[in-house]
A = this chain, B = another copy of it.
Amino acid sequence: MYICVMYSSELIKGTLKTIVLNLLKDHGKMYGYEITQKVKDLTQDKIQITEGALYPTLHALEEHGDLTVEKVYIGRRVRKYYLLTDQGMETRSERVNELADFMKTMRFLLDLDVAKGHV
């Protein structure tokens, strides 16, 4: 009912790891560029993950033991597939649950549960 614009960047902040972990659970192994495109598609361009945010995040998740990497060469170009570890599955659950609970709290705090037209 209104024009779709990207969300202001503050909102996405803090949810990137959760998005990545959940996507990997749903779609199996994925590579960085694929993740950015999948999120863009699934959200109709509302959430666009920048590479400058994604790659450091993937490296951090790997270092934390949540992801493992598989290098694959497509022709001469390297592609790094990321997979959830067992620990990554746990981290995902915790983060998704926490985010779900947080959003519930926010809906209450902002009176979004009552039916209303445009606020």
Contact = CB atoms under 8 A, between A and B. Distances in A.
Interface of A: 7-15, 18-19, 22, 26, 39, 42-43, 46-47, 93, 96-103, 105-112, 118-119
B109 A42 contact: yes
A107 B105 CA distance: 14
Tell me how many chains of this kind the complex includes: 2
B11 A11 contact: no
A30 B111 CA distance: 18
Nearest to A103: B103
A110 B100 contact: yes
A106 B15 contact: yes
Given A10-B13, A22-B110, A46-B101, 13 more contacts: A7-B101, A8-B98, A11-B15, A11-B99, A18-B110, A19-B109, A22-B109, A42-B108, A43-B105, A43-B108, A97-B119, A100-B110, A103-B107
